[in-house]
Structure 1
């Protein structure tokens, strides 16, 4: 083999991502956290470190961590921020955006006092520093965020404050009603001083996933104000500023698509509800099962990487997980056509 061929082979090997099995586990078992990939690094922020319905400030993380996906040997701690769970986390132009989330106000072992937050911040990995953005018009948690065409969107969620409300009810109490957000928000990242602008959303759901793909926002699953669990998928067309509905995500079980994780991969929306099945949305707005995780999880994160998805954290229903796995997503089958 010539020197030039050997050099090309070495370069190709260096550019090949590390096999999935070598991705390290999360430093902490965590659920209800934020996750995003930016410039080849996988970031996590915040989350819940205790069992289900066991809330306290001590068991809520404010840590920002990163894993280099080209050389994924160790998670690195970066400057953190406010302890928070169920925040919105996304990226744009190499910067990490954190919006809202829920923060317990009580000490460990004390009755839960849960409060949504109105903060919005941006982290610059180049300077390793956080900068404040305009605050939300109203506190918001259990929502999701996405960036599309240079604008930051916050969709769904609720303004939770149990110090002013009745105690948290179990999910099977169908008569309990809370206030949920019925508007979405948008912030122009080219002119953030203009502040957040609101626009109507034709649903009220929390614990949903929001994905930006091909000029549209996809709001998937969640729970409504009457604690009804949902497989619904609402789509916002940014160009026409209009909402529409498409086929429900075919998640199975009584939880449906509550606390679903989703992302955009190779031009398709990919969703991972509890149960382990992974679904892809086709061009005709129908869902099909394309892969499966090794086990069931929800309240997790799903991130796109090298024609695969990385599933991390979450819970099977009680305790948080620290496991990380990657699953290859097959490309859509090509439609047979006539020969030229």
Structure 2
């Protein structure tokens, strides 16, 4: 595989392609430069709890212990060798009416299993399709969809050392379906949807206290 001299995308030969994802569910994220995770999501109309990881070095998929709760439109954050699975939407089969969740499940990457979490550790607000990231040793969530008739503007942070959530300043532009990235200790929320498409770009910065 060689990049074009002028930059841009390049093709991948058949010999360089890895094995296909075991089940297409519409959710992939990278907790490290060599791992691509596919936790939860949807197959057809139903939420699933499968958890699979692709290793870019071995070019192979590995099935990990399933998530404790079937859900889609969750957000995921890695912090201190732990994967935080946050909120989401439970739908399909037994759940005729979609149910927004405030669940937080934690996968310990060293132990290779899901930790048992008390309900007191759950998010303050039920939400799905929201922005999430880690800042200053905390797990941050903001915006998304919930039980309210409008898009959420609230933001909150989980402090693992204190085992509790704290309220953060609300998003200036309430949105769901944002793209996000952490830059210089700030979580940027880019674009998204609020009644219509949004071109807002806003940053949340959190102190180390």
Deviations 1:202-258 (A, max 9, x none): 11101112111220111111111344311111111121111111111111xxxx311
Q: Does 1:185 align with 2:105?
A: yes
Asked if 1:84 corresponds to 2:53, the answer is no
Check the 8 A contact 1:88/1:99 in 2, yes or no. yes
> 2:129 matched to 1:204?
no
Of the three residues 119, 134, 138, the one matched with 2:65 is: 134
Matches within 5 A, 1:284-295: none
Counterparts of 1:67-106 in structure 2 under 5 Å? 72-74=8-10, 76=12, 78-81=18-21, 82-85=23-26, 87=27, 89-92=29-32, 94-104=34-44
Count of aligned pairs: 191
* Contact 1:116-1:141 within 8 A present in 2 as well: yes
Which is strand-richer, 1 or 2?
Answer: 2
Is the Cα contact below 8 Å between 1:219 and 1:233 reproduced in 2? yes
Post-superposition shift, 1:115? 0.5
1:150 to 58, 75, 81: 81
Could you tell me how far apart the structure 1 residues matched to 2:57 and 2:99 are?
A: 39
1:272 matched to 2:176: no
Q: 1:215 maps to what in 2?
A: 137
Cα shift readout 1:98-118 (whole Å, capped 9, x = no counterpart): 2111121xxxxxxxxx10110
**CA shift digits 1:245-291 (9 cap, x unpaired):** 1111111xxxx311122121122111113321211223469xxxxxx
Larger Rg: 1
The alignment's TM-score, normalised by the length of structure 2, stands at 0.81
1:159 is paired with a residue whose SS is strand
RMSD (Å) for aligned C-alpha atoms: 2.3
Is residue 2:94 matched to residue 1:164? yes
- Contact in 2 for aligned 1:100/1:120 (Cα 8 Å): yes
Matching of residue 281 in structure 1 with residue 200 in structure 2: no
Normalised TM-score (structure 1):
0.52
Larger relative contact order, structure 1 or 2 (CA cutoff 8 Å, min sep 6)? 1
Contact 1:156 1:206 (C-alpha < 8 Å) held by counterparts: yes
| Partner SS state of residue 89, structure 2 | coil
Name the SS of the counterpart of 1:91 in structure 2: strand
Tell me if structure 2 keeps the 8 A contact 1:216–1:236. yes
